[in-house]
Amino acid sequence: MLKTIFNFLMLYAVFSLVCFSVFLLYSKNSNLLFFTDPHHLLNTTNKTSLNIEKTTAVPDFHQNGTAMPATSGRPLEPCPDIPPNLQGVLYVEFRTNRTLEDVRRPLSPLLQQGGRYKPANCVAKQKVAIIIPFRNRYEHLSHWLHYLHPILIRQQLDYGVYVINQEGDGVFNKAKLMNIGHTEALKDYDYECFVFSDIDLVPLNDRNLYRCSDKPRHLSVAVDKFNFTLPYNTIFGGVTALSREQFLKVNGFSNTFWGWGGEDDDLYQRIVFRGMSISRPDSVIARYKMIKHGRDLHNDRNPDNVQKLKETPQTIDRDGLNSLSYTVRNIRKDLLYTFITVDVQAPAG
Ligand SMILES: [Mn+2]
């Protein structure tokens, strides 16, 4: 009798032990607070924030696939109106030193030579050329590429990045570089939409789509430098998006704005003069962080440009894409961008 009771108790003890072990194992996996020491908590917090940083910077390889076309033979469906993998608010900082090699490494499975990408699993809504006027801002370029490529990939665009580099140290002409970017990009691919972007502007929300709409679009609505408000109502600088038709209709930018200022206001006047108006995304979404920097050499504010703004109606037909003249010095296709060095016939700085 005693032996039976003893056996029963032993069986019960073993059973309890097994139950307890299973419980321990389960609670470790599911992070039940009861068994979670502060050290463990700290670790999971770090891991989570790392994941956020990682997904902010690097697109999801599984959901986006590679830049290779689908092999199934079935025609691809159009991409959805609202891209499904957007993250909304993004964490952006410019303290980290980023070399082009740092930026290139995680993106290389996704991009094609020249800073090109198109979604693997659907047909992009638009073919978009991103045009960046450039001179001596390599540090800004790394930040811009680090943040923008993952955003543009999540936005499911069929896009290419064009950095238009003004050769020499004559007076800078940003507007002419934009016209050149438009012209050179069209030699590559039949782009339908042109996004003109300053190199120091990074969006703080990926819901701000780099696409064109039925009106010329001003994308950089709320910039931190201006306390996230519009400095004035007709501002049309920073980041803008014009369809091929819209840009042709205004004859592009004027080529004659040398030095800093005015070319963006002239473009705004061209748009209005041609009977169009502009659109903007909601300022809650269209927030930007600007990289802080000093004034560039040979790009001083040009007081003549203010006077020129009175002449837009007279100059629009003869000064622009139809009068553009320049010489391409070099075209270099990197995985992250197409870098085009041009002689814009600049006066000495
Ligand atoms: Mn700036």
pLDDT of 144-165, one tens digit each?
A: 999 999 999 999 999 999 999 9
Active site residues: 198, 200, 260, 263-264, 290, 293, 295
Are 131 and 178 a contacting pair, CB within 8 Å?
yes
Q: What is the 128 CA–ligand 1 centroid distance (Å)?
A: 23
pLDDT over threshold 90, residue 77: yes
How far, in Å, from the CA of 300 to the mean position of ligand 1? 13
Q: pLDDT class for 12, splitting at 50, 70, 90?
A: low
| Distance in Å, CA 175 to ligand 1 centroid | 15
- In the structure, what pLDDT confidence band is assigned to residue 38 with cuts at 50, 70 and 90? very low
**Confidence band, pLDDT 50/70/90 cuts, at residue 73:** confident
Please give the angle made by the CA atoms of 225, 155 and 272, to the nearest 5 degrees: 60
Residues whose Cβ atom is located within 5 A of ion ligand 1: 200
**197 beta partners:** 239
Ligand 1 center from residue 130 Cα (angstroms): 17
Bridging pattern class, strands 327-333 and 239-243: unpaired
Torsion of CA 99, 101, 106, 110, to 10 degrees: 120
Contacts of 279 (CB under 8 A, 6+ apart): 213, 214, 215, 216, 217, 218
Q: What is the distance between the alpha carbons of residues 202 and 83, in angstroms, rounded to a whole number?
A: 19
Give the range among 12-26, 41-55, 326-340 with minimum mean pLDDT.
41-55
Rounded Cα distance, 130 and 45, in Å: 37
Instruction: Tell me which CATH code domain 58-66+83-292+302-343 carries.
Output: 3.90.550.10
Above 60 in pLDDT, residue 66? no
Instruction: Give the list of residues 6+ apart from residue 323 with CB closer than 8 angstroms, or none.
Output: 255
In the reported structure, the alpha carbon of residue 176 is separated from the centroid of ligand 1 by a whole-number distance in angstroms of 17
Please report the pLDDT score of residue 45 as a whole number.
32
Length of the chain: 349
Q: Which two tokens stand for residue 44?
A: 């999971």
For residue 173, the one-letter residue type is: N
Quick one: pLDDT at residue 15?
A: 54
Q: What is the DSSP string of 129-174?
A: EEEEEESS-HHHHHHHHHHHHHHHHHTT-EEEEEEEEEPSSS---H
The reported pLDDT for the residue numbered 100 is 96
Residue of 334, 331, 48, 285 whose CA lies nearest to 151: 285
Distance 200 CA to ligand 1 centre (A): 6
Structure tokens at 222: 């709320």
- Whole-angstrom CA distances from 64 to 60, 109, 149, 154, 155 are 6, 11, 13, 8, 10
pLDDT band with cut points at 50, 70 and 90 for residue 10: low
CA 290 to ligand 1 center in whole angstroms: 7
Q: Residue 134 — pLDDT band, cuts 50, 70, 90?
A: very high
What is the maximal distance between C-alpha atoms in the chain?
114
Distance in Å, CA 139 to ligand 1 centroid: 13
* pLDDT at residue 349, rounded to an integer: 82
How far apart are the C-alpha atoms of 211 and 24, rounded to whole Å?
A: 52
State residue 116 phi and psi, 5-degree precision: -105, 145
CA of 255 to the centre of ligand 1 (A): 20
**Cα–Cα distance measured from residue 268 to residue 274, given in angstroms and rounded to the nearest whole number:** 10
217, 278 contact by CB (below 8 A): yes
Q: What is the 3-state secondary structure (H, E, C) of 276-336?
A: CCCECCCCCCCEEEECCCCCCCCCCECCHHHHHHHHHHHHCCCCCHHHCCCEEEEEEECCC
Q: Compute, in degrees rounded to 10, the torsion defined by CA atoms 160, 164, 165, 166.
A: 180
| 3-class secondary-structure state, position 15 | helix
